[in-house]
Amino acid sequence: MATRMTVTRFAPSPTGRLHVGNIRTALHNWMYAKGNGGRFLLRIDDTDAERSEEHFVDAIRADLAWLGMEPDGEVRQSARFALYESRFAALVAAGRIYPAYETAQELDLKRKVLLGRGLPPVYDRAALRLSEAERAALEAQGIRPHWRFKLDHDAPIRWDDAVRGPQSFDPATMSDPVIRRADGSWLYMLPSAIDDIDMGVTQVVRGEDHVSNTALQLQMFDAMGATPPGFAHAALLTGAEGKLSKRLGSLGVDHFREVGLEAQSVRALLARIGTSDPVEPVADMAPLIATFDFARFGRAPARFDEAELAQLNARIVHQLPFEAVADRLPAGMGAAEWDAVRPNLSTVGEAADWWGVIEGPVDAEIAGEDRAYLAEAAAAAAAIDWTGDPWHALTDRLKGTSGRKGKALFLPLRLALTGRAHGPDMGQLLPLIGQARAVARLGAAAG
C-alpha cells in the first residue's frame, strides 16, 4: 500500500494581521511538511464576508514570504461554497445535520438554567423533537433555522494526539455544534473538515485551544466517510510576564521588520520554544527541520520573550556572511567593513551607523588632559607604516613615548577616531578609516 504524501495546512482568517501565535502555528506546519518531504498549503478562511478584508489576504502572503515559508498551494474558502453545499445536503439527508429554531436569547436562557442547577450547559436537542408541522409553523412565522451537527453518543471520541498523547471525549457531554447560521453563512467547524478531506491534509497542527474542536470534527470526518488526518495540538504562547499576554496579539511580521529583526531569528526561536530542545542561534533552517519532532513538545505554555528574540537575533547576525546582507548595507560598504563591525551589531541595520563612523565625520568629546596626548598621536599616525597593522604600530609607539598604558592609552584614541567609547576591534577598524582621516581626526580632537 502506497504511503500518502504528507500535507499540512495553515488556515488564517483575513480579519487582521498575523501575530506571533499565528506565525508559530504556520512554522510548525511548514517544518513538519518540509521535514517529511510533503506539501505546505495555505487556506484562506474567508467565509466571514463582513470581517474579511482583501488587504489582509495580501499581508498574510507577504508575511509568509518574508518568513521564507511560501506555501506549495493556496485555496480560499469563499471559492468553495458549492463543495460545502454538496456535503451539507448529503449530511442533512443522512440525518447528521438538523435545523434548530431557538433564538440566541432562548439558548442563553437555557444555558443559565442548566448552570444554575449545577449541570453542564449542553444543548438539549429540543429541535429534534419538533414535528414537521411545528417546523413548518415556525418557518411560516419567518423564523429561519440555524443548523447543528448531530453527535453520535454511542462511543467515546478518541485519538492519539502527537503532542498531548491519548485523548478521550464523551460526546454526551458536548453540545451538538452549530455549523451554519440562520442567514446561511458558515461557521468554522464543517467547512474546515470538508477542506481537510478535499485538500488531502494528513496532519493538522494547531494550538491546544482547538482540542475540543478536534473531538467534534472527528465525528464529522466519520460521518463523511473520510479518514481523518493526524492531529497535533501545541501548548499556547504566554508573554514574558508569565501569563497570557495581550501584547502577543500585536506582535507580528510588521513589528519584527520594523525593529530590524532577521526572519531566521523569528523562525529559530519559535521552532524551539515549548520543546525540550534548546533555543540556538542557528542561521540555517535545515538542522531545525531535521530535529523537529512533536515528541519533544511540552504540555506547559511556551514562554515568548522579546528580549530573548533580540539576543538571538544578535547572535545570528554575527554569523551572517557579507553575501547574505550586501543588498541591505550602505552603498560603498564592503566585506572588510562588514566583517569589522559585525560582532558589535544587534541588527543588520546598525551597520549603517558604523559605516558613518568609518566615513566620518565624527564628533568626539575629549577631556582637556588628553589633548596634548592626541596631538602626539596625530604626529605618530602620520609617521607610522600603514601597510601592516597600523593600530598596534600606533599604540606601541605611543606606549613608549607617552608612558601611558591600558585605558589611558587606548580610550582617548578610540574616542577621537570613532566618537564612541566602545565598538569594533580597532585593529580592524583603523585601516578602514585610513591614514588621512585618522590623522585629521586625532588632530581635530587635540584642538
CB contact at 8 A, 372 and 350: no
Cα angle, residue 313 at apex, residues 39 and 69 outer, rounded to 5°: 15
Got the DSSP string for 285-305? Answer: SHHHHHT--GGGB-SSPEEP-
**pLDDT of the chain, 447 residues: tens digit per residue:** 457 899 999 999 999 999 999 999 999 999 999 999 999 999 999 998 889 999 999 999 999 999 999 999 999 999 999 999 999 999 999 999 999 999 989 999 999 999 999 989 999 999 999 999 999 999 999 999 999 999 999 999 999 999 999 999 999 999 999 999 999 999 999 999 999 999 999 999 999 999 999 999 999 999 999 999 999 999 999 987 665 567 788 899 999 999 999 999 999 999 999 999 999 999 999 999 999 999 999 999 989 999 999 999 999 999 999 999 999 999 999 999 999 999 999 999 999 999 999 999 999 899 999 999 999 999 999 999 999 999 999 999 999 999 999 999 999 999 999 999 999 999 999 999 999 999 999 999 998
- Through-space distance between the first and last CA atoms of the chain, rounded to whole angstroms: 85
If one counts every other C-beta atom within 10 angstroms of the C-beta of residue 153, the result is 11
Indicate the CATH number for domain 82-180: 3.90.800.10
Q: What residues form the annotated binding site for ATP? A: 246
**pLDDT of 1:** 47
Q: Which residue in 21, 12, 34 sits closest to 284, CA to CA?
A: 34
| C-alpha span between 224 and 216 (Å, rounded) | 13
| C-alpha span between 206 and 227 (Å, rounded) | 19
Q: What nine digits make up the cell of 37?
A: 518531504
| Range 7-76+189-235 classified under CATH 3.40.50.620 | yes
Boundaries of every domain in the chain: 7-76+189-235, 82-180, 246-317, 322-359, 368-446
| C-alpha span between 179 and 366 (Å, rounded) | 73
368-446, CATH topology level: Arc Repressor Mutant, subunit A (1.10.10)
Residue 386 burial (10 A CB sphere; 0-12, 13-18, 19+): middle
Give the type of residue at 237: L
Supply the angle between the helices 407-418 and 390-402 in degrees, to the nearest 10: 130
Bridge partners for 237 per DSSP: 302
Cis peptide before 412 (omega within 30 of 0): no
If one counts every other C-beta atom within 10 angstroms of the C-beta of residue 55, the result is 9
**pLDDT of 248:** 83
If one counts every other C-beta atom within 10 angstroms of the C-beta of residue 291, the result is 15
Q: What residues form the annotated binding site? A: 246
Give the type of residue at 143: I
| C-alpha span between 7 and 365 (Å, rounded) | 61
Beta-carbon contacts of residue 201 (< 8 Å; ≥ 6 apart): 7, 8, 9, 41, 195, 229
Phi, psi of 203 (to 5 degrees): -145, 120
Q: CA distances (Å), 352 to each of 224, 269, 341, in order?
A: 59, 26, 10
| C-alpha span between 328 and 79 (Å, rounded) | 39
| C-alpha span between 278 and 51 (Å, rounded) | 39
| C-alpha span between 220 and 179 (Å, rounded) | 11
Q: What nine digits make up the cell of 337?
A: 567593513
**Positive or negative CA dihedral for 103, 107, 108, 112?**
positive
246-317, CATH topology level: Glutamyl-tRNA Synthetase; domain 2 (1.10.1160)
Phi, psi of 218 (to 5 degrees): -60, -35
Give the pTM: 0.91
Beta-carbon contacts of residue 271 (< 8 Å; ≥ 6 apart): 27, 31, 285, 288, 292
Q: Which residue in 378, 370, 349, 363 sits closest to 438, CA to CA?
A: 378
